[in-house]
A and B are shown apart, each in its own frame.
Chain A
């Protein structure tokens, strides 16, 4: 299949969105099966002092391996199926925002045991604390957007 968005009609657009939803479900299913939606497991992985659970290293290991192989193959294409070009990050500079942001994110991750993907999945499952976490996360995002304006 080789459809650039300029030639993508209503049917083709609908198809691209159905595929995006299926991919989202696959991603979410992966988070659930791997144990990323269990905060105690995340904290147990990050904290080697209180009975370390290294199994989550396999999640990132497997995901990176599959993605790295696929990425090399996909990036040989001129453009993706439903767009005229790839939207890849181009920045190479190491700035203070990158490191400070990652540091702040890590503190929140180690504290709550949830990162954005698993938080959204858990909130959708109806977990009240996960819903509170997601609302706070969205507020944090908005706060950051405002701070740069």
Chain B
């Protein structure tokens, strides 16, 4: 694990700071699945800040590809499995009203019981799935 915990902590501080700033400036929870999913719904007003936020998020990916492409890891699964995983993540996060950011980072910080239970649930099913599926296929 060497220094990876240090990078993990620095990255974590950045994620926490970004979530706090979004609340301070726009009064919103930084939940990526919620921000993305609501853009797919016609009833959503207030699209501009969501698009701006996701634009910034995407820009970080573009910069990573140019400066340090190793930071974007290769897939551990074959394409059909990747597609199934994506479908489950999309459906599950919308059904459960959140993902690692909304329930994990923001919900736990607010001591929300709903979020604490959601995190315990997706950590458990994630661990069981990873153990069965293994490191690579």
Task: Report the Cα distance A138→B118, complex, angstroms.
Answer: 21
Task: Report the Cα distance A85→B28, complex, angstroms.
Answer: 9
Say yes or no: B24 contacts A117, CB within 8 Å: no
Task: Report the Cα distance A23→B22, complex, angstroms.
Answer: 7
Given A47-B127, A79-B27, A82-B25, are A89 and B93 neighbors across the interface (CB < 8 Å)? no
Say yes or no: B108 contacts A55, CB within 8 Å: no
List of A residues within 8 angstroms of B63 by Cβ = 29
Interface centre among A63, A86, A94 (most CB of B within 10 A): A63
List of A residues within 8 angstroms of B49 by Cβ = 16-17, 20
Size bracket of the B interface: 35 or more
Task: Report the Cα distance A127→B69, complex, angstroms.
Answer: 10
List of B residues within 8 angstroms of A39 by Cβ = 73-77
Given A86-B23, A110-B127, A136-B90, are A117 and B100 neighbors across the interface (CB < 8 Å)? yes
Given A35-B11, A102-B96, are A121 and B60 neighbors across the interface (CB < 8 Å)? yes
User: Per-position contact with B for A7-21: 1 when CB-CB < 8 Å, else 0?
Assistant: 000000100111111
Task: Report the Cα distance A105→B95, complex, angstroms.
Answer: 9
**Considering only CB atoms, which chain A residue lies closest to B118 in the complex?**
A102
Given A36-B11, A58-B9, A101-B93, are A89 and B29 neighbors across the interface (CB < 8 Å)? yes
Q: Chain B residues in contact with chain A, CB under 8 A?
A: 1, 4-5, 7-30, 32-33, 36-37, 40-41, 48-49, 52-65, 68-69, 71-77, 79, 81-101, 103-114, 117-119, 121-131, 133-136
Contacts A/B (CB < 8 Å), 5 sampled: A20-B26, A25-B56, A46-B130, A65-B16, A125-B61
